[in-house]
Amino acid sequence: MGGGRESQRMGKLEQERKQTVAELARLRDALKVEVDPEADEGDPDLIEREKVMALVQIMERRLDSIDYALRRMDEGTYGICERCRLPIAYSGDVVHRFRPCRPPP
């Protein structure tokens, strides 16, 4: 992989990481708001809180994926299938370019 393109992709990953960390902080702040412990199960505040908790989990997994991709870049294995060791075609999604090129049999 060319050094310039790798540098651009690393920059994109770092930018995505920064945005993800900011979004996680915003979501975690939203969870700090207390919910009425006497609220009914269908209470809109409880439903919203559950949505935010689900989003936090999604964003935490995304952050883990970004960090893993950055480690793979540092190791020189980014863009190479973990299973077959062949290069993975670049699709524009720099986060998922470290995953195996095809599902296991």
Look up the CATH number of the domain holding residue 73.
Answer: 1.20.120.910
96-101 — which CB contacts under 8 Å span 24+ positions?
Answer: 96/65, 96/69, 97/9, 97/69, 98/68, 98/69, 98/72
Q: What is the largest CA-CA distance in the chain?
A: 59
- Assigned domain for 103 exists: no
What is the reported pLDDT for 64? 92
What is the reported pLDDT for 96? 59
- Assigned domain for 60 exists: yes
- Assigned domain for 104 exists: no
What is the reported pLDDT for 1? 46
- Assigned domain for 92 exists: yes
pLDDT digits (tens, 9 = 90+) for 20-56: 999 999 999 998 887 766 767 777 878 888 899 999 9
**How many domains does the chain fold into?**
1
What whole-number percentage of the chain has pLDDT above 90?
Answer: 34
pTM: predicted TM-score of the whole model, two decimal places: 0.77
Domain enclosing residue 36, as ranges: 3-98
What is the reported pLDDT for 19? 97
State how far the Cα of 59 lies from the Cα of 9, in Å rounded to an integer.
20
- Assigned domain for 57 exists: yes
- Assigned domain for 32 exists: yes
